[in-house]
Every structure is written in structure tokens, then in C-alpha cells.
């Protein structure tokens, strides 16, 4: 029932958090050693890259979100268009108006999704 409802609105299934105190099966196979790099482009935007180490599970999707009104009562987060997954990386070019951004990295293990979510970072 839940899967059908999510498919109707083109939403994804909920993902598991591999960093729970309770050990989840296969959570040790999720990526680790995330490092973020930010570089200013020649047109004043920021290119951000998350590098990680795979531990047996392949990253199936990466997505980035940004906000331009962080801390306001009705804070809104928007997907960054054209996020790219490379060899052990996820890269995005943020809009100029970005105040904070976040990376999501999705991993599929035995048809169960795990998500790695970094904390929102202030643009430098």
C-alpha cells in the first residue's frame, strides 16, 4: 500500500540510516570517509564535490539540495539541477543565491535503501 501511494506521486521509498546506534544488517557496506571540497567557479558560483570510499555497496544515486533562505520561518530546500555521480564522487554546481547545501547519497543493498546525508553546510 505504501509503495503504491509513493509511486502515484513519483516519490521514492524511505531509506535506512546506516549510522543508527542499533546495528542494521549490511550497514557496514555503506560508503564512508566522506570529504567535501568547495571551489569557486569563474562565474561566481560554487562547485561542490563529495568524495567517498565504497565499502562493498555501490552508490546508486546522489542528489544535492540548497536553500537561499536558511533560518527563516518557511525555509525551503530545492534540488540542485544536474548533480553528477562520478567514480567515488558526487558533484554539483550551486546557484549563486545558495546559503546552505546538503548532499544525499543513496545506496541499494539487497533491495533495501540506505541513505547517507551530510549536515547542511554554509557556503563559503
Q: Which residues pair with 85 in a beta bridge?
A: 90
Closest CA to 60 of 17, 113, 101: 113
pLDDT digits (tens, 9 = 90+) for 56-90: 877 777 778 888 887 788 888 888 887 787 788 88
Q: Is the confidence at residue 52, as pLDDT, over 70?
A: yes
Q: Is the confidence at residue 49, as pLDDT, over 50?
A: yes
Overall fold of domain 2-122: Immunoglobulin-like (2.60.40)
Q: Which of 3-12, 15-24, 58-67, 79-88 has the lowest mean pLDDT?
A: 3-12
- As to burial, measured by CB atoms within 10 angstroms (0-12 exposed, 13-18 middle, 19+ buried), residue 71 is exposed
Q: Is pTM, for the whole model, over 0.85?
A: no
Amino acid at each position: 500500500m505504501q509503495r503504491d501511494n509513493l509511486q502515484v506521486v513519483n516519490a521514492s521509498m524511505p531509506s535506512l540510516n546506516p549510522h543508527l546506534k542499533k546495528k542494521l544488517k549490511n550497514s557496514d557496506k555503506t560508503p564512508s570517509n566522506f570529504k567535501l571540497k568547495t571551489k569557486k567557479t569563474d562565474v561566481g558560483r560554487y562547485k561542490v564535490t563529495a568524495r567517498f570510499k565504497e565499502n562493498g555497496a555501490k552508490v546508486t544515486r546522489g542528489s544535492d539540495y540548497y536553500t537561499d533562505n536558511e533560518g527563516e520561518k518557511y525555509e525551503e530546500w530545492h534540488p540542485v539541477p544536474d548533480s553528477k555521480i562520478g567514480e567515488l564522487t558526487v558533484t554539483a554546481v550551486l546557484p549563486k543565491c545558495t546559503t546552505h547545501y546538503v548532499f544525499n547519497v543513496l545506496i541499494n543493498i539487497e533491495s533495501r535503501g540506505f541513505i547517507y546525508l551530510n549536515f547542511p553546510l554554509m557556503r563559503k
